[in-house]
């Protein structure tokens, strides 16, 4: 494991975060990448920054990085694999869930049978599923819709067992897309016992995406947002101002959040600006050496803390909201 924390990171932690973070943090969005789940070329092609962690990202690596970057905080996580049709989705759930500090979701393709999914949920004590556009029906057409992420049978199984689905909504327009929002509402309404955690506030990395649309989901008690990789103060502020705080969850999208950089809004778009040499998707590489960066993780914490939320709201956001959701689900399913 490469050392990734810098002197500057330590200084920023001491100056800006020490004493201001709650003692316990539940990270509701962590990609756990087990070597045995993927073909060797998958990482190099898809997540080249995994080079930093030896082409895997284990629960142990997550905890040890948290010790470096968030010293003194007791960490909890909800993990799931890296989505791909090339992954062994069953194996990807075998990362050692204990439903105490480590909770998990099963990667879900619309091509998986309910029997396979249910058997993995039971075997690995998972609390739900993590579907994704690249594992959905019509996934190669470029027109994947949210409803293509699941089959009806899968949704009925999830609803019957009151499980969680963390959903990365598809399509270019994200939360601005009326079809996405109609289908999100349809899912919440039709399957009231599934908890839908819409990841990255519906992929709202820039403000126009979240504004006006977050409000539409207030009325669905089973609609949650996670805030993974949202560095944008305006997006976070809008969400906390317009949505019940007890349904907003902290998440990092680790391991990417440990890289140095910042997600920045430009002309109703966003880009990751980063000194790292890796391709991070929509990213600009800054090789000038003139700007000193901290990890995305810290930029997100900065934005959240800048909102001056009441202590109780912060504790709920960082820990209690996700912890109680996952604990209740695990207790109901597995009796612990
Ligand atoms: Zn993610």
For 161-178, the DSSP string reads TT-EEEE---STTGGG-H
What spacing in Å lies between the alpha carbon of 105 and ligand 1's midpoint? 12
What spacing in Å lies between the alpha carbon of 331 and ligand 1's midpoint? 25
Q: Which helix (H) or strand (E) holds 103?
A: strand 102-104
DSSP code, position 319: I
Q: Which helix (H) or strand (E) holds 262?
A: strand 262-266
Convert 196-209 to b/e letters by CB count within 10 Å (16 or more is b): bbbbbbbbbbbbbb
What spacing in Å lies between the alpha carbon of 251 and ligand 1's midpoint? 9
Percent of the chain residues past pLDDT 90, beyond the cut:
85
pLDDT tens digits for range 147-163: 999 999 999 999 999 99
pLDDT tens digits for range 239-266: 999 999 999 999 999 999 999 999 999 9
DSSP code, position 214: G
Would you kindly state where each structural domain of the chain is located, as residue ranges?
Answer: 7-334
Query: Is residue 139 very low, low, confident or very high in pLDDT (cuts 50, 70, 90)?
Result: confident
Structure token pair of residue 173: 């327009």
Mean pLDDT along residues 61-88: 95
Q: 39 pLDDT exceeds 90?
A: no
Mean pLDDT along residues 176-198: 97
Question: If you average pLDDT over every residue of the chain, what do you get?
Answer: 94
Q: 41 pLDDT exceeds 90?
A: no
What spacing in Å lies between the alpha carbon of 30 and ligand 1's midpoint? 7
What spacing in Å lies between the alpha carbon of 182 and ligand 1's midpoint? 23
pLDDT tens digits for range 269-309: 999 999 988 888 888 999 999 999 999 999 999 999 999 99
What spacing in Å lies between the alpha carbon of 330 and ligand 1's midpoint? 22
pLDDT at residue number 234: 96
- Bridge partner residues of 249 (DSSP): 226
pLDDT at residue number 160: 98
What spacing in Å lies between the alpha carbon of 12 and ligand 1's midpoint? 25
pLDDT tens digits for range 206-250: 999 888 899 999 999 999 999 999 999 999 999 999 999 999 999
Mean pLDDT along residues 164-169: 98
Q: 318 pLDDT exceeds 80?
A: yes
- State in Å, rounded, how far the first CA of the chain is from the last one: 33
CA–CA separation, 86 and 318 (whole Å): 33
SS3 sequence of 197-237: EECHHHHCCCHHHHCCCHHHHCCCCCEEEECCCCCCHHHHH
Q: 1 pLDDT exceeds 70?
A: no
pLDDT at residue number 310: 97
pLDDT at residue number 28: 98
In this prediction the pTM is: 0.96
pLDDT at residue number 11: 97
CATH class of 7-334: alpha beta
CA–CA separation, 295 and 75 (whole Å): 18
What spacing in Å lies between the alpha carbon of 49 and ligand 1's midpoint? 14
What spacing in Å lies between the alpha carbon of 58 and ligand 1's midpoint? 15
Q: 336 pLDDT exceeds 80?
A: no
CA–CA separation, 167 and 195 (whole Å): 10
Rounded CA Rg of the chain: 19
Residue 18 CA: distances (Å) to CA of 15, 22, 23, 292, 298: 7, 10, 10, 20, 12
DSSP 3-state of 291:
coil
What spacing in Å lies between the alpha carbon of 229 and ligand 1's midpoint? 9
Q: Is the peptide bond before 291 cis (omega within 30 degrees of 0)?
A: no
Residue 104's nearest CA partner among 166, 25, 194 is 166
What spacing in Å lies between the alpha carbon of 244 and ligand 1's midpoint? 23
Percentages helix, strand, coil for the chain (3-state, rounded to 5) are 45, 15, 40
CA–CA separation, 37 and 58 (whole Å): 12
Query: How far does CA 310 lie from the centroid of its chain?
Result: 24
DSSP 3-state of 238:
helix
CA–CA separation, 208 and 155 (whole Å): 31
Query: How far does CA 106 lie from the centroid of its chain?
Result: 13
Residue 282's nearest CA partner among 260, 262, 253, 300 is 262
What spacing in Å lies between the alpha carbon of 256 and ligand 1's midpoint? 9
CA–CA separation, 293 and 279 (whole Å): 17
Q: Which helix (H) or strand (E) holds 41?
A: helix 40-46
What spacing in Å lies between the alpha carbon of 123 and ligand 1's midpoint? 23
What spacing in Å lies between the alpha carbon of 257 and ligand 1's midpoint? 10
Query: Is residue 51 very low, low, confident or very high in pLDDT (cuts 50, 70, 90)?
Result: confident
Query: Is residue 2 very low, low, confident or very high in pLDDT (cuts 50, 70, 90)?
Result: low
pLDDT at residue number 3: 63
């Amino acid at each position: 494991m490469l050392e990734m924390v810098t002197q500057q990171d330590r200084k920023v932690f001491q100056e800006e975060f020490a004493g201001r973070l709650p003692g316990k943090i539940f990270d509701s969005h962590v990609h756990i990448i087990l070597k045995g789940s993927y073909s060797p070329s998958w990482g190099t092609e898809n997540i080249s920054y995994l080079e930093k962690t030896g082409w895997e990202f284990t629960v142990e690596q997550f905890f040890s990085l948290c010790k470096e970057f968030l010293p003194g905080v007791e960490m909890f996580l909800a993990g799931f694999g890296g989505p791909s049709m090339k992954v062994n989705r069953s194996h990807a759930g075998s990362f050692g869930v204990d439903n105490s500090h480590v909770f998990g979701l099963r990667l879900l393709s619309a091509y998986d049978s309910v029997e396979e999914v249910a058997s993995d949920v039971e075997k690995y004590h998972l609390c739900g599923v993590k579907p994704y556009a690249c594992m959905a029906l019509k996934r190669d057409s470029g027109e994947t819709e949210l409803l293509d992420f699941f089959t009806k049978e899968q949704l009925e199984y999830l609803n019957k067992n009151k499980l969680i689905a963390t959903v990365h909504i598809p399509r270019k327009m994200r939360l601005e897309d009326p079809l996405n929002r109609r289908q999100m509402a349809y899912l919440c309404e039709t399957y009231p016992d599934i908890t839908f955690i819409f990841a990255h506030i519906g992929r709202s990395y820039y403000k126009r995406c979240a504004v006006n649309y977050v409000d539409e989901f207030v009325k669905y008690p089973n609609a949650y947002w996670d805030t993974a990789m949202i560095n944008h103060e305006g997006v976070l502020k809008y969400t906390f101002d317009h949505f019940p705080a007890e349904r907003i969850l902290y998440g990092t999208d680790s391991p990417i959040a440990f890289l140095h950089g910042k997600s920045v809004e430009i002309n109703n778009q966003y880009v990751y600006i980063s000194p790292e040499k890796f391709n991070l998707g929509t990213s600009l590489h800054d090789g000038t050496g003139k700007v000193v960066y901290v990890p995305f993780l810290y930029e997100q914490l900065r934005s959240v803390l800048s909102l001056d939320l009441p202590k109780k709201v912060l504790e709920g956001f960082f820990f209690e909201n996700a912890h109680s959701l996952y604990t209740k689900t695990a207790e109901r399913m597995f009796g612990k």
